Structures are given as C-alpha cells and as structure tokens.
Amino acid sequence: TTRFTRRTGLLAGAALAASTSGARADEAVAPITLRDLADARGIRIGAAVASRPLANELAYRDTLAREFSSVTCENVMKPSFVQATPGYFDFHASDAIVAFAAAHGMTVRGHTLVWHQQNPAWLERVAAVGENPAGALRDHIVGVVRHYRNDSPAPVPVWDVVNEALTDNGLMRDTLWSRALGPGYLADAFRWAHEADPDARLFYNDFGAEGLGRKSNAVHAMLRDLVGGGVPVHGVGLQMHVGIGHGHAPSGTDLAANIARLRALGLEVHVTEMDVKLQTGTGPDASRLADQAQVYADILSTCLDAGITSFTLWGFTDAHSWIPGFTGKPDGALPFDTAYEQKPAYHALARVLAGD
C-alpha cells in the first residue's frame, strides 16, 4: 500500500516519475502533499492561519504553503482586528495573510463578518445603545468585503458572513445583533455582503451542526427559509470541532445525510474548522493517535463522497492550536506535531485523498 509520508512519498513519487519520464529513480522528486492530492480531486484543502507563527517560523510557512491550498485567518479578519476604531479599517494583519496566500497560489476563506465574539467594545456599545446599529453592521460588512472584492489586488472569494447564530437547541442565539436588530439581521447581513461584492460566495458557518440533530435541523430550516426568500446565501460551513472517543464526532451516516439535505437546497458545503481532540479519549498515546487518524479519515471520506468542495482544518500544527488554551488541557488535535512532523492523522488524510 502507498504511504504518503514525506519519506515514502518521496520514494513513491520518484519511482513514478522515473517510470513516466525516464528520470533516474535516485533523482530528487518533490514529495506528494495533501495539496497535490486535493488538487487532483478538484477540492481545496485548507488551514486556519495565525499571524505570529506565519511571521516568525519558517517551518510554519513552508508546511502551510506546501500542504494546503486554502487559508482562513484564525483571528485577524474579525471585527475587533479590522475595525478596532469606528470608521478606521486596519487590514495590515489580514492583508499579510492574504498576500501570503496569493504568493503561493492559495485561496482565502474570509472569516468572519458577523459574530457575537471578538467585536470591538465600541461596536458592542453601538449595538446595545446606539442610534443606528444596522448602519454600523452594514458599514462593517461593506468595508471589509469591498476591501477584498473580486477586482481588488488580493480577492477573497468566499465569506463566512454569519457565524454561530444558533444555539445547541436550535434557537436563535441571543447576541448583540439579535437584540439590536431582531432575527432579520441574518438576511440583511447576506444582502449587504452581496452588494459589496456580487461575485463573492457567501456562507453561514456553525459548530455542532454536522450530523443530524436539533441544531443541524434548525440550521437546515433557517437556510431553507433564506434560500426560499431569495437571500444571497450560497453555502454552509460545518466547523467540525470533534474529538476521539464515543459520541465526540458525528456518525458517517448522519453526516452524509446532513450534507445531502443541505446540498439539496442548492448550497455548497465546506468543512471549515476541523480538529480532533485527543483529551476526549482514553488509552495510551499511540492508540489515541490511531483513533484520531481514524476520525480524520472517516470524516474526510464521508465528506468527499457527499460532495463537499473545501476541507479546512483549524490550524495544522499542534504547536499552534486554540484547544489547549480553551480547554485548559494539553492536547494535539491537528495532523502535524509541535515539531511539524507528520502524525498518523496526516497519513490518514493523505490516504483518503489518494483514494486508497
């Protein structure tokens, strides 16, 4: 069986190149990467990117550019970063990531325009007591989307317009925007983004709505209503923050059924933020890493069969992941370890992409 490790991938690639081009088998041939394999399937493989390691770590930059064809700014495109001061847009941090992507032929998923977290204090105040909260939200959306519109130097063709607007029970989440504007803010946000860049593909993004259940039913119903009402929404992001151990990831059948019903609405489906926690499992490290590889493989395989077009991880190296900070426990939820070595999860993703 073909194993796409860097070393064996090198050998397999060299053998292939030698047989097809007459090159000597001992000549150096570029290793097969996740990116190559995803290209061959016509899908994007992506990672969330953090500014500091991108600026400071060569291994971070090299691995990102080699293995991935899509990037998402983990933080710096959010309102608290791009509009910390009312009316003054500061894109220096997001532009750096977008420029890196452009330089390496990668696409960008814009993240995110409307959320209940990472808003500047002034915007929260405007939403709570301001005279024109709708105007403030509209100006934010238009300011960001226009900066990255299709005819700009570094376009962002896809946006997570609204993030996490529903609760686990499938109700409208009580947020600064639902309080200020009522539930209609979702449709308005999509319309404003569409006005700012009619070419952009506009997504609703949420977590815990990957399989079948109350929340995914509500996401589906909400999107059905938006699509039915002629609102410019083109896709849905399934975040996919999951874990090893029973009940910490959706079953393949539920995931496939959910993707199918979303696609039946005419929507594109992306996996937008996948990581697989180890702390939810049991057993020695080696068996946890094997379980993690299996979860990555099962989910990617189901998603490919179900017709998703983009598969993004929330980071790529265990050296930089939100999980330990958030859970207060060490983990290792991504396919590269802290030394940028490929973990079993990496090989599992490569095998699935290769169709093995």
The SS3 of residue 355 is coil
- In the chain the first and final C-alpha atoms are separated, in Å, by 8
CA distances from 263 to 162, 231, 303 (A): 19, 16, 12
User: Hey, what amino acid is at 15?
Assistant: A
Residue numbers 107-166 binding ligand 9MR by CB under 6 A: 117-118, 163
According to CB under 6 A, which one of 69, 175, 239, 302 is a site residue for ligand 9MR?
A: 239
Does the footprint of ligand 9MR cover residue 273 (CB under 6 A)? yes
CB contact set of 62 (below 8 Å; sequence gap of 6+): none
Does the footprint of ligand 9MR cover residue 309 (CB under 6 A)? no
CA dihedral 185, 187, 190, 195 (to 10 degrees): -100
Does the footprint of ligand 9MR cover residue 217 (CB under 6 A)? no
Residue numbers 10-49 binding ligand 9MR by CB under 6 A: none
CB contact set of 197 (below 8 Å; sequence gap of 6+): 145, 146, 148, 149, 150
Q: How far is the CB of 118 from ligand 9MR (least distance, A)?
A: 5
Number of residues that bind ligand 9MR (CB under 6 A): 9
The one catalytic residue among 67, 74, 210, 273: 273
Peptide bond between residue 338 and the one before it cis (omega within 30 degrees of 0): no
Q: How far is the CB of 7 from ligand 9MR (least distance, A)?
A: 32
Q: Is 273 known to be catalytic?
A: yes
Q: Is 164 known to be catalytic?
A: yes
Paired residues of 158 in beta bridges: 109, 201
According to CB under 6 A, which one of 75, 80, 167, 251 is a site residue for ligand 9MR?
A: 75
Decide whether 119 or 342 has the Cβ nearer to ligand 9MR.
Answer: 119
The one catalytic residue among 67, 74, 164, 210: 164
- HSE of 155 in the Cβ direction (CA atoms, 13 Å)? 12
Decide whether 70 or 163 has the Cβ nearer to ligand 9MR.
Answer: 163
User: Hey, what amino acid is at 44?
Assistant: R
Decide whether 4 or 148 has the Cβ nearer to ligand 9MR.
Answer: 148
Q: How far is the CB of 242 from ligand 9MR (least distance, A)?
A: 13
DSSP string, 312-348: EES-SBTTS-HHHHHHSS----SSB-TTSPBPHHHHH
Does the footprint of ligand 9MR cover residue 316 (CB under 6 A)? no
Confirm if 245 and 212 have CB atoms less than 8 A apart: no
Does the footprint of ligand 9MR cover residue 80 (CB under 6 A)? no
According to CB under 6 A, which one of 36, 67, 74, 331 is a site residue for ligand 9MR?
A: 74
Q: How far is the CB of 21 from ligand 9MR (least distance, A)?
A: 43
The two three-digit tokens of residue 295, written as one number = 């979860």
Q: How far is the CB of 321 from ligand 9MR (least distance, A)?
A: 8
Q: How far is the CB of 25 from ligand 9MR (least distance, A)?
A: 43
Whole-angstrom Cα distance, residue 97 to residue 151?
18
The two three-digit tokens of residue 36, written as one number = 């190559």
Which residues of this protein are in contact with ligand 9MR, per CB under 6 A?
74-75, 117-118, 163, 207, 239, 273, 322
- Cite the active site residues: 164, 273
